[in-house]
Structure 1
Amino acid sequence: MLRKLITILLTAAMIGTATLSASAAQIDTADTGAQLDAAIVAADYAEVGGTLEPEEPLPNAYSSAEQGLTTPVRQQQYNTCWAYSSTATLESLLLKNREQSFHLSTMHMNYWGTALENGKGWQREYYAAGYPYIALGYLTSFGCIDNELFDESKTVDDYHTTDNLYPYQAVNSIIYLDTDDRDTVKSAIYQYGGVIGNFHYNAKYLHSRTNAYYFDTPNLTTAEMNGHAIEIVGWDDSYDVGNFVSGHRPSSPGAWLCKNSWGSYWGNNGYFWISYEDLYLFESRFGPSYAITGASAINANSKIQQNEIFGATYEFNYVQQLRPKLNKMTYANVFDFSDGYHHIDKVVFESTSEGSTYTVNYIPVDASGAPLTDSSRWMLLAQGTIEHQGYTCAEIYGFNAPMTKGAIGVTIEKNSDTDIAIGVDEWLTTGGNYLFTPESEHGQSYLIGYSNSAIDIMDFYQTKLKDDIGGTFVIKALCTNDEKNGDVDRDGDFTIMDVTVLQRGLANIAQLDNEQRRFADIDNNGVSDILDATRMGRILAQIN
């Protein structure tokens, strides 16, 4: 079977001219030489990334660390730079938003990014290098937990036996950055605290005294590259070229301030500088450089309604390739709202169709579970413009979905030269082996507008792409339950019996399931414990 091929060095898709022959990406990772900390390269992102306009004139030098927007440097385990840099960037955003300072668990993310018990998901070992997609999927599909709940001492066996943890925050907005535009990177740091960057690391090019780094050897092959991910937290336009290694100095001053994950004894208390002119910083072979721009609190009354947990590994743009004149398409995911989590607060979707307009609708389904194509039956929830490539968050105001199956549809309409693509968790291969396989099933995602009826995309994959694995659209609904916290026995009322049920569970007299633990955790710290029981009793007794 022919495959659409995205190599490291080539952005053009190899597609048949008459029909679309296949789907998904074969990623040419070759063999990285890095044993210490390889960030395995992904698809070429040379054409991906949006610009940001500064909200105010940018200073010549800035440091989020000096502004108190970074957490202490940590020492990573395994090849997990991608996990440490992404959690550090989210920590900076939370501090920027004046949230409580957290050290988020990287090890939980790392173990999450391995194969599931059913064999699906990321086909990697926990000690192996990772991809930016893993962090993007974890943070938007699961969220994050505090490091105290799952720290570096935890093993992969601990992960598979821990089922009572749920996230503190879930990321709902991410911008893929146009790193060719220096002010865009600066603006992202200035507005959100930090950005994810990747570069090729060779210790010989790091100045031992100034901790300044500049790599100037061109034309490295993939096998020669040691990929490393860091959080970029500042810049200095006047950073002197004399600070770099003699014989390997940039032609002009200026450097980025970076927070590393090799411990506080490395570099300058864990920080270092990298030249604006470094040849492999923001290299497209490492995947997207991005900023985390929004997150939502998750507690006992909230849930992410979603049909996939991996985020976008690819862009579903096949309909426009097959029918170039199409300028509008509705992508819909069917959810079951009967569990009570039906008050829709936000809809999150991934798309690289920057500049396109979008509308979000609630769409009833027919007896077979397929979304209705009659748009007069749809309920408009939100509309706007996809301002940046990445994950877009549409705010929804006061909509309660019927407590049954229903669909959330995202209609993307072409504006000028943009396309009408949406993110999909599609399979990836490398070296003839699967790198990622989704859990896609029929009845989850549908195309509306390609034909007269709603098309299950699993059927589309099979008939149009000769692909039986398929994928699922990355459309998520952040929902709340209108019942009260504290309703541990789930009878619809918060009473002293709920305190008793929790106490019996804590004493191991009764077994609490995950749902009961969620509603028992009324202080929303991720753990249901005796403090929650005490607080519940005080609330019922109307004691402050």
Structure 2
Amino acid sequence: MPDSMDRKNASATLPASYDLRTSMPPVRNQNPFGNCWTYSAMAATESNLIGKSLVSSSDIDLSEWYLTYFVYNDESPLKPGFTNSSGNAYYDGGGDDWQAVAMLSRGTGSVSGLKVKTPVRPEDVYVPNVMERELKLKNALYLGNLSANREEVQIAAKRIQLVKKTIMAYGAVSVGIYWDNDAVNNEKFAYYSGNYHYQTNHAVTIVGWDDDYSKDNFKEDNRPEKNGAWLVRNSWGDEWGDEGYFYVSYEEGTLCDGVAYDIVSAPNDEKIYQYDPLGLVNFFGQEGKNEVYFANIFTAGAYETINSVAFYTTAPDQPCEIKIYTGCDGSPVSGKLAKTAAVTLKAPGYNTVELDAPVKVVKGEKFSVVVKTSSGLTDNLIPVECLLPGYSDKATAEQGAKLGVI
């Protein structure tokens, strides 16, 4: 896990309980819109910023509406929206953390809710003005296990420990859940469904835990085997649940795809070179080949310096060797090798690697970023934006054209 946040020491000995509620902003209310995923992502983002003392809980309010609108509507020709195949209006189309990560990594958000306010009713919806991001997504850390059975992932002690450590180090964690009204004890605000679903229908934010939370707090006819629960923030206002919060059993099998957001202030005039405005759609690979290379060639738009490189990884503790070539002509490795960096990325997800010294390029110069990576856990190591019907129909990145795989 990247050491980019100096919060309380997330040591091997974890407390029996942990609670971020007093440092969180007020609970928001998504009603009447079906955009819970933007609320969970922004709550995790706000928590990360508060933990770094970049903002206070009383003055941070990031716009969920900005993501809600532009996830399914084009921000510009170079920043298209995803495909809304839900059959509902875009504000009821649903979404997930990887769509949020795609938006934030390309510079669509985060912006202040004072500048882009949330409409109160469907008849009040509007097109927000396009504006520069105020914050930069540095890392989005994925806490799931892509190779494990879903049931095993949810109840595994190692994963519970990982989520706890991440909350202490990075703040609240955005997760998906399958919400069933019949699975909640409305007197104790305790949720346990006893099910395992590959589809989720709601997004919430884990803000703490209690190892001693009694299994008897859950519904009598459907209780987990052991004590212990996550403290979870919802987006249904502070009049719901315990002032907007509730407990979810450690054994809840529908919790999935936890993501922690690592955020910094947006540098002035930073330019993002990318061909994947819809972010990660899939990982490709070749069976039996667990060491791969992938690359992109870019054309410098001005006299600039390259300070960092960002890409997606699929496995924990994934070693990556990054090479930057300048003066390229056709092949990603045809130019001059200007920089080599080696790093092991602890958490899968979206990772930014800061260079120890910038690489200078001149206007019109072609330069490349080449990544060599490997893993003993999976062969699917090449992150790509690709056309997935009903999801990313406007994707344009192609092997050999804008994504060069060598």
What TM-score range do you get, normalising by the shorter chain?
0.7 to 0.9
Query: 150, 155, 163: which one pairs with 2:116?
Result: 150
Could you tell me whether the CA contact under 8 Å between 1:61 and 1:235 is conserved in 2?
yes
Matched, 1:390 2:359: no
Aligned to 1:127: 92
Q: What is the distance in 1 between the residues matched to 2:300 and 2:275?
A: 12
Output one character per residue of 1:261-315: Cα deviation in whole Å (capped at 9) or x when no partner: 0001111110000111223222xxxxx22212x2232243322222222211111
Amino acid at match of 2:365: K
The reply on whether 1:313 has 2:272 as its aligned counterpart is no
Residues 332, 407 of structure 1: 8 Å contact kept: no
Match of residue 76 from structure 1: 30
1:60 aligns with 2:22: no
1:177 aligns with 2:143: yes
Residues 459-478 of structure 1: pairs in structure 2 closer than 5 A: none
Partner of 1:351: 313
Quote the Cα distance in structure 1 between the aligned partners of 2:297 and 2:275.
Answer: 8
Partner of 2:213: 239
Look up the equivalent residue of 2:115 and give its one-letter code. Answer: L
Q: 1:347 Cα shift?
A: 1.0
Output aligned runs, 1:281-360, within 5 Å: 281-282=255-256, 288-292=257-261, 294-317=262-285, 320-321=286-287, 324-325=288-289, 327-329=291-293, 331-340=294-303, 342-360=304-322
Give the structure 2 partner of residue 425 of structure 1: 385
**Structure 1 pair 299/60, CA: closer, same or farther in 2 (3 Å)?**
same
Q: Residue 167 of structure 2: SS of its match in structure 1? A: helix
Query: Structure 1 pair 129/326, CA: closer, same or farther in 2 (3 Å)?
Result: closer
- Equivalent in the alignment of 1:212: 190
* TM-score (normalizing by structure 1): 0.63
Q: Is the 8 A contact 2:313 2:348 kept in 1?
A: yes
The one-letter code matched in structure 2 to 1:305 is: Y
Aligned to 1:15: none
Letter in 2 for 1:447: V
What amino acid is aligned across from residue 327 of structure 1 in structure 2? E
- Shift of the alpha carbon at 1:208? 1.9
- Identify the residue that residue 66 of structure 2 maps to in structure 1: 108
Q: 1:241 to 1:121 in 2, by over 3 A?
A: same
Residues 277 and 418 of structure 1, relative CA distance in 2, 3 Å threshold: closer
Query: Does the residue aligned with 1:62 lie in a helix, a strand or coil?
Result: strand
Mapped contact 1:121–1:437 kept (Cα < 8 A): no
Q: Secondary structure at the match of 1:421?
A: strand
Partner of 1:140: 105
Relative CO higher for 1 or 2, CA cutoff 8 Å, sep ≥ 6? 2
Match of 1:274 in 2: 248
Amino acid of the residue matched to residue 170 of structure 1?
K
**CA offsets per residue over residues 217-252 of structure 1, 9 Å max, x none?**
x466x7xx7611100010000001221122122221
CA distance in 2 between counterparts of 1:307 and 1:156 reads: 30
> Distance between the aligned counterparts of 2:160 and 2:328, measured in 1?
50
Q: Secondary structure at the match of 1:140?
A: helix
Give matches, 1:509-520, under 5 Å.
Answer: none
Counterpart Cα distance in 1 of 2:183 and 2:374: 46
Contact residue 210 and residue 228 of structure 2 kept, 8 A: yes
Residues 398-437 of structure 1: matches in 2 within 5 Å? 398-403=357-362, 404-419=364-379, 421-429=381-389, 434-437=390-393
What is the CA–CA distance in structure 2 between the aligned matches of 1:82 and 1:168, rounded to whole Å? 20
Letter in 2 for 1:334: I
Distance of 1:363 and 1:351 partners within structure 2 = 21
Highest CA radius of gyration, 1 or 2? 1
Please tell me the root mean square deviation across aligned C-alpha atoms, in Å.
2.5
1:203 correspondence with 2:181: yes
Equivalent pair of 2:232/2:248 in contact (CA under 8 Å): yes
The 1:381–1:166 alpha-carbon spacing in structure 2 relative to 1, beyond 3 Å, is farther
Report the CA distance shift for 1:444/1:303 in structure 2 as closer, same or farther (over 3 A): same
Contact 1:75 1:263 in 2 (8 A): yes
Change (3 A) 1:109 1:89: same
TM-score (norm 2): 0.83
Q: Is the 8 A contact 1:428 1:436 kept in 2?
A: yes
Distance 1:439 1:251, change over 3 A: closer
2: CA distance between counterparts of 1:326 and 1:258?
37
Q: Tell me if structure 2 keeps the 8 A contact 1:138–1:309.
A: yes
Q: Secondary structure at the match of 2:271?
A: strand
Structure 2 Cα separation of the partners of residues 241 and 325 of structure 1: 46
Q: Give 1:445's aligned residue.
A: 403
Q: Which moved more, 1:75-84 or 1:231-240?
A: 75-84
Provide the C-alpha distance between the structure 2 equivalents of 1:296 and 1:152, rounded to a whole number of angstroms: 24
TM-fit CA distance, 1:441: 5.4
For residue 264 of structure 1, give the secondary structure of its aligned residue in structure 2. Answer: coil
